[in-house]
Structure 1
Amino acid sequence: MRTLDQWFAEYAVSHQNPKNKAIHYICVPAIYFSIVGLLMSIPSGVIANTLKLNAPIIENWAFIVLLFVLIFYIRLSISMAVKIALFSAICLIVNYYISQIFPLWIFSIGVFVIAWIGQFYGHNIEGKKPSFLKDLQFLLIGPAWVVDNLFSRK
């Protein structure tokens, strides 16, 4: 199994251009956020009826999927898993409040489409294909790479 640093080194190869990096710092979290919103939009009656917590932020498909996503990060780095868990919690909370004022699935699809357009534009500037075309696990490495680059003291 690759280490987090090995994943980052390979991911960084196609993310050297400053404009592409800046685009990724915005679009990768936006895509993650929108996927959380889309998952929260799936009816979750089974989950809510099973848990009976009356806690809509955790009684949804996004919360369940994010638990499995965190297992991926825990295997790579406990500290990164904590950072991603914090970001995931923020995504759940903000998406919940958005859902109170606007159809969440519509908002999430809009963010998702715009952010992916930005991603592909960034890779066009870079002149390299997105990493996930080589290995789908890079779809989970991207958010960690952004967190690492934005909040590390390197």
Structure 2
Amino acid sequence: MLRPRTQALFDEYYASHQHPTNRLTHKIAIPVIVLHIVAMLDWVRLVPVPALPGGALTLAMVGWFASLVWYLRADPKLGLLVSAFMLLCIPLGRLLPVWAVILLAVVGWGVQLAGHSVWEKKSPSFLTNLVHALVGPLFFVAVLTGDYKLPADAHAASTANGRDSQAHT
């Protein structure tokens, strides 16, 4: 069972993600965006620490730890899943050439913004509540694991709206 604060954040986040195609674009874009952000943050070396992989503490490591604390407070199980993915993004990002990370950024944000502008017709929720930048990955993991059930009436309404708009095209 989700904590009340996490449930409220998910409900608020869901309100900006009603259209099923927009939610689909997020399932593609959010992992890509997380990967590119972690990879880019890993380019910023803060202090040499020979014991760490790569020999330095990077901004990605600091960001990962800070987000780990936030995610674990929101929900331990989901937080571990999201944080494990984020941690895997550090070595994966190091394997990618700079041009590929930049391409991932362009593609990820393009897909994300298309979902909101073309289908949802609303700006991304993190523009009005910055914490939603952290909520997004947690929300979609919660949906995938079944820890957050999409409201049936809203899902049916958005599916019907999708069919109605297709019929008018």
For the criterion TM > 0.5, the same-fold answer is yes
> Partner residue of 2:132?
138
Give the RMSD, CA atoms, in angstroms. 2.1
> Partner residue of 1:83?
81
TM-score between both structures, scaled by the size of structure 1: 0.84
Q: How does 1:61-100 map to 2 (within 5 A)?
A: 61-98=59-96
* TM-aligned CA distance change 1:9 to 1:54, over 3 Å: closer
- The one-letter code matched in structure 2 to 1:112 is A
* TM-aligned CA distance change 1:122 to 1:57, over 3 Å: farther
- Contact in 2 for aligned 1:24/1:119 (Cα 8 Å): yes
* TM-aligned CA distance change 1:54 to 1:8, over 3 Å: closer
CA distance in 2, matches of 1:6, 1:29: 23
Q: Shift of residue 108 of structure 1?
A: 1.9
> Partner residue of 2:141?
147
Q: How does 1:3-82 map to 2 (within 5 A)?
A: 3-42=5-44, 44=45, 46-47=46-47, 49=48, 51-56=49-54, 59-82=57-80
Secondary structure of residue in 2 paired with 1:16: coil
What fraction of aligned residue pairs are identical, expressed as a percent?
28
Secondary structure of residue in 2 paired with 1:25: helix
Unmatched 5+ stretches in structure 2? 150-169
Q: Shift of residue 96 of structure 1?
A: 2.1
Secondary structure of residue in 2 paired with 1:136: coil
TM-score between both structures, scaled by the size of structure 2: 0.77
CA distance in 2, matches of 1:58, 1:88: 18
Secondary structure of residue in 1 paired with 2:57: coil
Q: Which has the higher contact order (CA 8 A, sep 6+)?
A: 1
Unmatched 5+ stretches in structure 1? none
Structure 1 runs of 4+ aligned residues shifted over 6 Å read none
- The one-letter code matched in structure 2 to 1:122 is G
Bigger strand share = 2
- The one-letter code matched in structure 2 to 1:38 is M
